[in-house]
Structure formats: structure tokens, C-alpha cells
Amino acid sequence: MEGKPPIWTRRVLLGAGVSASYLLPAAAAAPRAPAKPAAPSVATAPLVMLDPGHGGKDPGAIGVSGTYEKHIALATAQELKRQLEAGGRYRVFLTRSTDVFIPLESRVDIARARGVALFVSMHADALTDHSVRGASVYTLSDSASDSQTAALARRENAADRFGVPNFSNTPPEVARILASLVRQETRAGSARMARNVVGAFGPALPLLQNPARHAGFMVLKAADIPSVLVEMGFMSNAQDEAALRRADHRARVASAMKRAVDGYFAQTGLATLAPAPTSG
């Protein structure tokens, strides 16, 4: 018996610019004995982009004992990349793998050029109130959820030049509808990932009050890529800074974020899970 055809979601179809109203099934093959399915190729595994904040001439927040946010963000992103790749389920790229400066707009360009399935920006910012500590996660919104979040967004943003995906050779009214649908799906995916981050962090790490927040962070403005910004803690808080300086704590942060990524792709139904690579 033929297997079921692949499920194509609205977002996949729109992102590929598909305009046909149906997909033709594959030609029927001659009857054959059941065979063990071939393992999916690693090349088809979901592509996750990790974005360590700041870098190079931009140190980001400077902790109460002098720790640079850019170093914490990169070290944790590298640990998360290691954990995600260890299971063989994902392809993982970093917007930066060394201490270099990359403008915000270039970070989004990198993600869109690679066609990533999920974008996670990683930070450990600072607040004027040094008593505030705990992790939090942010999604894109036209308005900030609170004054603290508005202040963080102002610190992170530089400019805004990102629009909607380009639907070439499409009538303007159809393009507007397609762009709106993609944006809605993207924001729904971002919100789903944010809930997973909060759920994964909760048992393992201190959280801000109301840890799922939103604001107009520029680095989240790719209209066709589900994106979240994770604040792993605040460098302005002595306890958070001390914890983030420790490799074991960063490993716990990465482990929680991996669980969130696993949950996200399990919920989307889009994941192609490749087996863990074997040696030899």
C-alpha cells in the first residue's frame, strides 16, 4: 500500500511561492515487498539559527564584576549548538562564531538567506534596577508589553528596514494576502516557541515575573521566520552574572533551550528527524 503523501502546511507552501491548488501524487510503483524505510538525510533536517548577541566592538551589557554580555552569549550559543547537533536532529548555524561585530540587519539577512526554520537570539542584558534577575523570552510586537521590555528593545535596536517576503510575479492584492498569512503564521510559531522556552526554563532556572514578553525588537523582524529573543539573565544582577560565568550553569540554560526547540518542532509537525550520526 502506498504511503501517505507528505503534509504541506500553509506556511511551507507560501514560503515556497506555491500557487497551484493541488499537488499531484507520485506515480504508482510496481508492487514490491515491504522494505525498511530509508533514514532521512541530515541535509533535510530543520535548520536552526542561533544568534549570540553583540560582539566585536559592541560588548553588550557589562556585568557588575566586568563580564561582557557578548562573551556569555557566544559561549552559551556554542554549548546549545553542541547539544542540538549531538542528537543528529537539526542543522545548526550561528550568526557569529567568533568575537566579531555583526549589525542587526545583517543577522536577519543571514537567517533569511539560509532559509532557517527557527531563529533564536541569545542575550544577557542589563537593567537600571540591579535587583531584577531571572530569564525571560521575547517575541515581536508593535508595542511593548511593559516599560522594562520597551527599554530593552530601545537598547537593542538600531534601525528598521525589514518588510514582508517578496512574492514575485504575483498580483499586488494576492501578494498582500499571502504576506499577511505568512506573518500570522510566523507570529503564531514565535509565540509557540516562547511558551516552550518558558516551560523548559521554569523547573530549572529563575524566571522574571511574567517571563513571556513582547516588543519591537529589530532582530526578530524577519516576517517569514519564527523568532524569539531569550534573555538568559541580567548582567546587572550579581547573582545572574555569577551564574552565567559558570560553564555548568550555561550548560543548564542550553539544555533547557534544547528541550524548548525539541518541543517546538514536535508541535509544528515539520521536523525531519535524522538519526544521530555514527562514527567510522
pLDDT digits (tens, 9 = 90+) for 230-243: 999 999 999 999 99
Indicate if the pLDDT at residue 173 is higher than 50: yes
Q: Quick check: helix, strand or coil at residue 17?
A: coil
- Cβ atoms < 10 Å from Cβ of 175: 16
Whose CA is closest to 51, among 103, 116, 96?
A: 96
- Which one has a higher pLDDT value, 228 or 213? 228
For the chain, what is the mean pLDDT?
A: 76
Sequence-separated (6 or more) residues with CB below 8 Å from residue 266: none
Indicate if the pLDDT at residue 272 is higher than 90: no
Facing residues of 213 across strands? 138
CA triple 42-120-243, angle to 5 deg? 115
- Cβ atoms < 10 Å from Cβ of 154: 12
Indicate if the pLDDT at residue 43 is higher than 70: no
Residue pLDDT, tens place only, 190-212: 999 999 999 999 988 999 988 99
Of 46-50, 75-79, 270-274, which range is least confident? 270-274
Q: What is the pLDDT of residue 26?
A: 39
Indicate if the pLDDT at residue 162 is higher than 60: no
Q: What is the pLDDT of residue 147?
A: 57
Indicate if the pLDDT at residue 48 is higher than 90: yes
Q: What is the pLDDT of residue 217?
A: 77
Backbone angles phi, psi at 159, to 5 degrees: -155, 175
CA triple 191-90-215, angle to 5 deg? 25
- Which one has a higher pLDDT value, 26 or 269? 269
Q: What is the pLDDT of residue 253?
A: 97
Whose CA is closest to 157, among 219, 69, 112?
A: 219
- Cβ atoms < 10 Å from Cβ of 166: 10
Rounded to an integer, the average pLDDT of 53-71 is 95
Sequence-separated (6 or more) residues with CB below 8 Å from residue 249: 243
Return the axis-axis angle of helices 69-86 and 247-268, rounded to nearest 10°. Answer: 50
Cβ atoms of 217 and 107 within 8 Å: the answer is no
Cα end-to-end span (Å), the chain: 36
Segment of 28-32, 114-118, 185-189 carrying the highest mean pLDDT: 114-118
Segment of 16-20, 166-170, 171-175, 245-249 carrying the highest mean pLDDT: 245-249
Q: Please return the burial class of 120, using the count of CB atoms within 10 Å of its CB with bins 0-12, 13-18 and 19+.
A: buried
Q: What is the pLDDT of residue 108?
A: 87
- Which one has a higher pLDDT value, 275 or 251? 251
- Which one has a higher pLDDT value, 110 or 44? 110
Q: What is the pLDDT of residue 82?
A: 98
Q: Name the fold adopted by 42-268.
A: Aminopeptidase (3.40.630)
